[in-house]
Amino acid sequence: MNQRTSHVVLLAVILAAAIPSIPGSARGASLGPDLPGWMLAGPASAGPTPEDGAIHDALTRANAQLALARELTQSGHIPEALAAVRLGIASLDSLPPARPGVATVRGDLEKVRDECTRLDDGEEPPPSLEPVAFERNARVDKWITYYTGRGRERFQMWIDRSGPYMELLTRNLRSEGVPEELANLVFVESGFNMNAKSRARAVGPWQFIRGTAKIFGLEMTPYKDERRDPEASTRAAARYLRKLYTLFDGSWPLALAAYNSGEGRVLRAIKRQKTNDFWRLKLPRETRDYVPQFLAAMEIASHPERYDFRPPEHSMWTYDVVSVPGPVDLKLIAKVTEVPLDELQRLNPALVRHRAPAPKDGASLRVPHGSGEDVQAALDTSYDPKPLTKKELRQATRAHRLEIRASRRGRTHLVRRGETLSHIARRYGVSVSSLVKRNKLKHAGSIRAGQRLRIR
In tens, the pLDDT along 147-203 reads 999 999 999 999 999 999 998 999 889 889 999 999 999 999 999 999 999 877 899
Residues 422 and 387 sit within 8 Å (Cβ to Cβ): no
Residues 155 and 311 sit within 8 Å (Cβ to Cβ): no
Mean pLDDT value of segment 319-337: 93
Of 94, 100, 79, nearest in space to 22 by CA? 94
Whether residue 16 is predicted with pLDDT greater than 70 in this model: the reply is no
For residue 122, the model assigns a pLDDT of 65
* Alpha-carbon separation of residue 180 from 151, 174, 185, 296, 345 (angstroms): 25, 6, 10, 16, 26
Please count the other Cβ atoms lying within 10 Å of the Cβ belonging to residue 78.
Answer: 15
Q: By percentage, how much of the chain surpasses pLDDT 90?
A: 50
For residue 99, the model assigns a pLDDT of 63
Residue 452 host element (H or E): strand 452-454
For residue 58, the model assigns a pLDDT of 79
pLDDT band, very low/low/confident/very high, at 444 (cuts 50, 70, 90): confident
Whether residue 438 is predicted with pLDDT greater than 60 in this model: the reply is yes
Of 221, 238, 154, 228, nearest in space to 197 by CA? 228
pTM of structure: 0.68
Residues 350 and 226 sit within 8 Å (Cβ to Cβ): yes
Q: What are phi and psi of 66, to 5 degrees?
A: -65, -45
pLDDT band, very low/low/confident/very high, at 19 (cuts 50, 70, 90): very low
Select the more confidently predicted residue: 140 or 105: 140
For residue 455, the model assigns a pLDDT of 74
Tell me which residues are annotated as active site: 189
Strand-pair category, 412-414 with 452-454: antiparallel
For residue 378, the model assigns a pLDDT of 95
Residues 179 and 132 sit within 8 Å (Cβ to Cβ): yes
DSSP H stretches of helix in 122-206? 138-147, 152-162, 166-175, 185-189
For residue 41, the model assigns a pLDDT of 34
**Residue 165 and residue 316: Cα distance in Å, rounded?**
7
Q: What are phi and psi of 405, to 5 degrees?
A: -60, -40
**Residue 268 and residue 105: Cα distance in Å, rounded?**
44
Of 456, 453, 448, 447, nearest in space to 414 by CA? 453
Sorted by where each starts, the structural domains of the chain and their CATH numbers stand as 3-121 (no CATH), 138-307 (1.10.530.10), 319-390 (no CATH), 410-454 (3.10.350.10)
Q: 3-class SS at 274?
A: coil
- Torsional class of 430: left (φ above 0), alpha (ψ -120 to 50), beta (otherwise): beta
pLDDT band, very low/low/confident/very high, at 123 (cuts 50, 70, 90): low
Q: 3-class SS at 173?
A: helix
Long-range contacts of 338-343 (CB under 8 A, 24+ apart): 338/378, 339/367, 339/368, 339/371, 339/375, 343/368
Whether residue 4 is predicted with pLDDT greater than 60 in this model: the reply is no
Select the more confidently predicted residue: 32 or 311: 311
**Residue 58 and residue 50: Cα distance in Å, rounded?**
13
**Which one-letter amino acid corresponds to residue 91?**
S
Residue 318 host element (H or E): none
Q: Could you read off the pLDDT of 397-406 as tens digits, one per residue?
A: 998 888 877 7
For residue 13, the model assigns a pLDDT of 45
Please count the other Cβ atoms lying within 10 Å of the Cβ belonging to residue 40.
Answer: 16
Residues 302 and 296 sit within 8 Å (Cβ to Cβ): no
For residue 121, the model assigns a pLDDT of 66
Of 34-43, 125-134, 296-305, the range with the lowest mean pLDDT is 34-43
Residues 366 and 348 sit within 8 Å (Cβ to Cβ): yes
Length of the chain (residues): 456
Whether residue 35 is predicted with pLDDT greater than 60 in this model: the reply is no
Select the more confidently predicted residue: 388 or 4: 388
